Structure 1
Amino acid sequence: MRAITGVWRWRHNPLRRRTDRLEAWVALAAALLIAGGATTAGCLAGRAADEALLGTVRIQHEQRHLVWATVDRLISRAPLDPDPETSSQRDAHRRVIARWTAWDRSRHLGPISTPRPVDPGDRFRIWTDERGRVVPRPMDAGTAGTHAVLAGLGSAAAVGGLIESGRRLIVWRLMVRRFRRWDQEWERAGQDWGRAGAGG
C-alpha cells in the first residue's frame, strides 16, 4: 500500500527526481512480486513436497510392519543417577536382547531399545522391515502434511527475501547515483555559491 501511495505522491510533485519515481516504481513492483510470486512459489513448493512425502508415507507403510517382540534378557541396567530427570530418561530406553518373528515368518534375536522399562518375558511392539530388521515407525500423513506446509512457508519466505534484497540493492544504487549527482552539482556551483554579490 505504501508503494502505491509513493508512486501516486511523486506523480505530480514538482520536486520529484527521476530516482524518486524509479524508487517508488521499484517498491510497487517488489510488493506485487512478493504478493504474487512468493505466494505462488510457496504453494508450488508445498504441493511438490506434499506429493513426495505422501509417496514416502505410502512406501513406508507398505514396507514396515508392526510385530511383537519378547524380552529375552536385559543387557544392562542404567547406573544410579542423582538427577531424577536423566535417570528416568535412561530407564525409559533400556537396551535388551529380544526375540521377534518378522512379517516373512523368519525368527530374530538381537539388541533393541524398549519404549518403557521392561523385565524378561515382557512383550512390546516394534516396527520391522520385510526382512525383520528393526526400523523407525513409518511417517504418518499428518506429519507429512506438516512438513509440506513448512516447506511451502520456507519457500515463500525465501522468495520474498530474495525480492526484498533485490529491491534494497536497487534503492541503494539509486541513492549512490543521487549522492554522486549532488556532489557534481556542488562542484559546478563553485566555492563562492551563496555569497553576497557572487556572480553579479
Structure 2
Amino acid sequence: MHRTPPTTVTSVRLWRWRRNPLRRHSDIVEAWIVLAAWVLAVLGGAVAGWAAAHAVESGLSARRAHVHSASAVLTDAAPRTSPAGSGYDDGRVWATVRWTAPDGSVHTDRAKVLAGAPAGSPVTVWTDGTGRTVHAPDSTGEVMLQTVLTGTLVAQLGGAMVWSGGWLLRTTLVRRRLAEWDAEWRRVGPEWRNLSGGRG
C-alpha cells in the first residue's frame, strides 16, 4: 500500500513557490511581494537607522567642536537655595560669573553653580565663542547612547513602514483574488449543484 508522506509546516507555508495545479499567477505575485517586503524592511530599516545614527553623531560632534570650556569666577555669592518653581533641583543655582576669553575680552553671564558658593569661587563654564554660556556638551557615553537609541528607533520605524506598505499591497491582491473566486463560483456553482442533484 502506497503511503502519502506527511506534509510539513514548511512545505505548507512555501506552497506558492512550488508547482501545483492550485497555484495561480496572483499567488506567485503575492509570494514575491512578501519576500520583497521582508528584504526591503530589513535592509531599508538598517540603512535608515544607520543614516539617522550618523546624522545624530555628526550633529553632536559639530556642537562639541563649536563650544569650549573657560575658567570663570563668581562675581557674587551664589544663593543657598533655588527660587521656588525653578524646576528640577540638581543641587545647583543660577549665579553671575565672569571670565576672560582667549582674545582678552571680559564676559559676564549667568551659569549653574553650587548653591552657597562664595564670591570669587572658580567655576568652569562652556561658551559658544560669542560671549554666552551654553550647556556642557554631551559626554562620549551620552553621544553613543543617543546615537544607538536613535538608530534603533529609526530602523524599527523604517522597517515597519516598508512592511506596512507590503502588507497593504498584499491585502489588495488577496481581496482581488477573493473577488475572482466569487465570480468563478457564481459561474461554476450552478453547474456543480445541477450535477450533484442529478446524481441524487
Normalised by the size of structure 2, how large is the TM-score? 0.70
How many residues were matched structurally? 190
Q: Secondary structure at the match of 2:197?
A: coil
Per-residue CA deviation, residues 76-106 of structure 1 (Å, 9 max, x unaligned), is: 84478xxxxx999547232333443344333
How far apart in 1 are the matches of 2:61 and 2:143?
Answer: 6
Matched, 1:197 2:197: yes
Per-residue CA deviation, residues 26-62 of structure 1 (Å, 9 max, x unaligned), is: 11122222333432343344345434543333233xx
Alpha-carbon shift at residue 176 of structure 1 (Å): 0.9
Matched, 1:120 2:150: no
Q: What is the alpha-carbon root mean square deviation over aligned residues?
A: 3.8
Matched, 1:33 2:40: yes
> How do 1:49-60 and structure 2 match up within 5 A?
49-60=56-67
1:23 alignment partner in structure 2: 30
- Describe the shift of the 1:130–1:157 C-alpha distance in structure 2 as closer, same or farther (beyond 3 A): same
How far apart in 2 are the matches of 1:111 and 1:17?
Answer: 74
Alpha-carbon shift at residue 9 of structure 1 (Å): 5.5
Aligned partners of 2:44 and 2:158 also within 8 Å: yes
How far apart in 1 are the matches of 2:159 and 2:106?
Answer: 55
- Describe the shift of the 1:144–1:9 C-alpha distance in structure 2 as closer, same or farther (beyond 3 A): same
1:72 alignment partner in structure 2: 76
Unaligned runs of 5+ in 1: 81-85
One-letter code aligned to 1:134: T
How far apart in 2 are the matches of 1:125 and 1:146?
Answer: 25
Point out the more displaced range, 15-24 or 170-179: 15-24
Alpha-carbon shift at residue 192 of structure 1 (Å): 8.0
Identity of aligned residues (%): 33
Normalised by the size of structure 1, how large is the TM-score? 0.70
Alpha-carbon shift at residue 170 of structure 1 (Å): 1.4
Aligned partners of 2:97 and 2:109 also within 8 Å: yes
Point out the more displaced range, 131-140 or 22-31: 131-140
How far apart in 2 are the matches of 1:30 and 1:152?
Answer: 20
Aligned partners of 2:126 and 2:134 also within 8 Å: yes
> How do 1:14-163 and structure 2 match up within 5 A?
14-60=21-67, 64-74=68-78, 77-78=81-82, 90=89, 92-114=91-113, 116-121=114-119, 122-163=121-162
How far apart in 1 are the matches of 2:117 and 2:185?
Answer: 89
Unaligned runs of 5+ in 2: 1-8
How far apart in 2 are the matches of 1:90 and 1:50?
Answer: 29
How far apart in 1 are the matches of 2:59 and 2:52?
Answer: 11
Alpha-carbon shift at residue 144 of structure 1 (Å): 3.4
